[in-house]
Amino acid sequence: MSFSLNDEEKKFLLELARKTIVNYFHNDNPLKVDYFSDKLKEKCGVFVTLEKHHDLRGCIGYVEGYKPLQDAVQDNAISAAFRDPRFPSLSIEELTDLEIEISVLTPLEKVNDISEIKVGRDGLLVKKGFQQGLLLPQVATDWGWDRTQFLEQTCRKAGLPLNAWKDKDTEIEKFSALIFRESDYM
């Protein structure tokens, strides 16, 4: 991955994600913050993941860079906390039990042969028709999946049959991610 952030930028983004969520509880207006560095003005895909006691509590992101990284982190922190359809909105009482993780994505690359996919390094996006599913690189590692299981579970996330990745009209793309979490900086 050629994109990098220094520790100060990572820590800033994690703190910004938390402050943005806290602000949302008290204020309808978005938190306005000056750009911390020029690097955070770059447009990148990014996901914000919330965990409570090591269980997923919300995860939302942009697959591609639609806006500056710093702004995208704020958007996705709010979405992960309050708009992930898999979970009820976060309550203010849950804040103390929450850990925030940020995954900054590289651009998508088409997979021509599944041997190109490296579990632990790559995340996957599977598309067929109007259905698509994405899993971040750390998901396969966390669950101990091999390449085939990772492909199957990405198909499942898309609402497709587990073996849909074998179909000629199914598109598979991969990406890697720069992943950092609050516990890295405590």
**In CATH terms, are 7-105 and 109-175 the same topology?**
no
Q: Does domain 7-105 have CATH number 3.40.605.10?
A: no
109-175 topology per CATH: Dna Ligase; domain 1 (3.30.1490)
pLDDT at 132 over 60: yes
DSSP state of 1: -
Kindly report the pTM of this predicted structure. 0.92
Query: Residue 178: pLDDT band by 50, 70, 90 thresholds?
Result: very high
- Across the chain, the runs of DSSP E, i.e. the strands, are 45-52, 55-62, 98-105, 109-110, 123-128, 131-135, 171-175, 177-181
Mean pLDDT to the nearest integer, 72-88: 96
Per-domain boundaries in the chain: 7-105, 109-175
